[in-house]
Amino acid sequence: MRLDQRLIADMIEPRTRVLDIGSGDGTLIGHLYRERGCDARGIELNMELVTRSVAHGLPVVHGDADHDLAYYPDHSFDYVVLQRTLQAVERPREVLRQMLRIGRYAIVSFPNFGHWQLRLRLLLGGCMPMTAVWHTPWYETPNIHPCTIRDFLELCRKDGYIVEKWMAVDEEGERAPWRRSIRLANLFGEQALFLLRRR
């Protein structure tokens, strides 16, 4: 399990209901189900990964964040998780709204576009920055809605979501040291991880 998945797992209370959007090969829901006694389910777009998850006994449906969340009833989960995908969905604001309609808490991680390397490369090179995290050229990237940690906090404020926890994480998923200063986190954090709830 990736380190940031471990951080996500640590945010989740045992024996709760969890929906993981973009559950991949089912690592997180498998862990939550087997180690934490959670009723953990997944949605995944890649059919090969869906089949692999189901073949491992995990409840996963084929679908995606933009089109399938509307079919879940209100408050049907305690946590709804979206890992490293917010920047790639068609309507991130709507996806967040759906997540907090379905779940009591939303756990969202995304790559931070405010990282100093990106800022510097755009400033000095004048081209769309390419880094280890942002590694596809602009004409091929699925990341159609990049945002910074500040941008995300602003959206949460606008839509009335309460940030229960937040942290910056580096690419390996190690928790980064900038815990108090959003300014520093936004400059040095490669990934951001948020635990949100409805007001």
Partner 1 sequence: MNSTAPLTVGEHPHASFPEGVELDCGVTLAPVDIAYCTYGRLSPQKDNAILICHAFTGDQYVAETHPLTGKPGWWGRMVGPGKPIDTNRFFVICSNVLGGCMGSTGPRSVRTDGQGAPGEQWGTAFPPITIRDMVRAQHKLVRGLGIERLFAVVGGSMGGMQVLEWAVSYPQMMLAVMPIATAPFHSAQNIAFNEVGRQAIIADPDWRGGRYWEAGVVPARGLAVARMMAHITYLSEEALTRKLGRRMRRGPAGGQGPEGPVSTFGDIFEVESYLRYQGSSFVRRFDANSYLSITRAMDWFDIAADHDGELTPAFSGTAVRFCVVSFSSDWLFPTSAARTLARALNRAAANVSFVEIETDKGHDAFLLEEPDFDRTVRGFLCGVAEHAGLF
Pairing mode of beta strands 77-82, 17-21: parallel
Annotate 30-99 with DSSP letters as a single string.
HHHHHHH--EEEEEES-HHHHHHHHHTT--EEE--HHHHGGGSPTT-EEEEEE-S-GGGSS-HHHHHHHH
Of 1, 55, 120, 162, the residue at the interface with partner 1 (CB under 8 A) is 55
Stretch that binds partner 1, among 53-61, 138-146, 165-173, 175-183 (CB under 8 A): 53-61
71 makes contact with partner 1 (CB under 8 A): yes
Q: Are 132 and 191 in contact (CB under 8 A)?
A: no
State whether residue 9 is helix, strand or coil.
Answer: helix
Query: 183: which strand partners?
Result: none
Site for partner 1 in 140-159 (CB under 8 A): none
68 makes contact with partner 1 (CB under 8 A): yes
58 makes contact with partner 1 (CB under 8 A): yes
Q: Are 109 and 193 in contact (CB under 8 A)?
A: yes
14 makes contact with partner 1 (CB under 8 A): no
79 makes contact with partner 1 (CB under 8 A): no
Chain length of the chain: 199
Q: What backbone phi and psi angles, to 5 degrees, belong to 63?
A: 170, 180
Q: Which is nearer to partner 1, 42 or 111 (CB)?
A: 42
**CB of residue 70 to partner 1, shortest distance in Å:** 9
41 makes contact with partner 1 (CB under 8 A): yes
Q: Which is nearer to partner 1, 71 or 138 (CB)?
A: 71
36 makes contact with partner 1 (CB under 8 A): no
56 makes contact with partner 1 (CB under 8 A): yes
Stretch that binds partner 1, among 5-13, 58-66, 107-115, 140-148 (CB under 8 A): 58-66
| Run of H or E including 10 | helix 3-11
Please give the residue ranges that form the binding site for partner 1 (CB under 8 A).
39, 41, 47, 50-51, 53-63, 68, 71-73, 76
